Amino acid sequence: EAQVTQNPRYLITVTGKKLTVTCSQNMNHEYMSWYRQDPGLGLRQIYYSMNVEVTDKGDVPEGYKVSRKEKRNFPLILESPSPNQTSLYFCASSSSTGTGYEQYFGPGTRLTVT
Amino acid sequence: RKEVEQDPGPFNVPEGATVAFNCTYSNSASQSFFWYRQDCRKEPKLLMSVYSSGNEDGRFTAQLNRASQYISLLIRDSKLSDSATYLCVVTPSGAGSYQLTFGKGTKLSVIP
């Protein structure tokens, strides 16, 4: 089954404790991306990757890091989480179609930083 | 001006009703357009792409008006299962066409 998986699905942590949210896709997609979704603000892009070893900042990259060492994986790293990073996080992947890039989303990771 | 704007709703409609959502975008160079559906606390899922000539998928019809920079989604014969938030999505042209810009969504509740 074609899918994007994220782990963990739920995480409660404390300020300053480094964490990693994993993302993996089995569709051989070149493009992967991370978003956060907050009430009233919609989906905002954190980082994206066009292919292995190619990453770039999205709209809200502060406080996050990513890496793309393999095509299928795109982990999101919070080196020193803060309460304002409490959010719902989605990973997505896509390949181009005739009319653009249709993205497939993972199930989401709900992060709470206390 | 926000890049992609949608009426947040909620739209509360009875079963069987026809409902239409509009979305405006500010970047005239936008190239690709989509409607995504998001159920409560779930991931967004592609509902349909929006083509320049307009397109239909069952009870759903999407249209694009480039001159006025808006896209629309029409849902006919609404079902209870259509209750969700509908996200308007646009992408720029050229090398940045992978960069999706999401509207904040329009919430639809279909009532028995």
Residue A113: the pLDDT is: 98
Pick the more confident residue, A73 or A30.
Answer: A73
DSSP-derived secondary structure letter, A84: G
Whether residue A11 contacts residue A17, with contact meaning beta carbons closer than 8 Å, is answered with no
Q: What is the pLDDT of residues B71-112, one digit of tens each?
A: 999 999 999 999 999 999 998 766 556 678 899 999 999 999
3 state SS of B81: helix
H helix or E strand, kind and range, residue B43 = none
Distance of CA B101 to the CA centre of its chain: 12
DSSP-derived secondary structure letter, B95: G
Confidence class for position A53, pLDDT limits 50, 70, 90: very high
Within 8 A by CB and 6+ apart from A85, the residues are A36, A63, A64, A78, A111, A113
The partner residue sitting opposite B105, judged by closest CB among A33, A42, A99, is A42
Interchain pair A90, B44: CB under 8 A: yes
Give the nearest chain A residue to B43 (CA atoms): A107
3-state SS track over A35-79: EEEECCCEEEEEEEEEECCEEEECCCCCCCEECCCCCCECCEEEC
Confidence class for position A2, pLDDT limits 50, 70, 90: confident
Does residue B56 register a pLDDT over 60?
Answer: yes
Q: How many CB atoms lie within 10 A of CB A33?
A: 27
Note whether B52 contacts A: Cβ–Cβ < 8 A.
Answer: no
Interchain pair B49, A31: CB under 8 A: no
| B 20-49 residues with CB < 8 A to A | 31-34, 41-46, 49
| Token reading at A51 | 């292919």
Residue B44: the pLDDT is: 95
Q: How many CB atoms lie within 10 A of CB A4?
A: 24
Residue A101: the pLDDT is: 67
What are the respective helix, strand and coil percentages of chain A, to the nearest 5? 5, 55, 40
Does residue B29 register a pLDDT over 90?
Answer: no
Question: Residue range B35-50: average pLDDT?
Answer: 93
**CA-derived radius of gyration, chain A:** 13
Whether residue B15 contacts residue B111, with contact meaning beta carbons closer than 8 Å, is answered with yes
Pick the more confident residue, A50 or B108.
Answer: B108
Q: How far apart are CA A30 and CA A51, in angstroms?
A: 5
Residue A3: the pLDDT is: 93
Does residue B51 register a pLDDT over 60?
Answer: yes
Among B50-54, B55-59, B84-88, whose mean pLDDT is lowest? B50-54
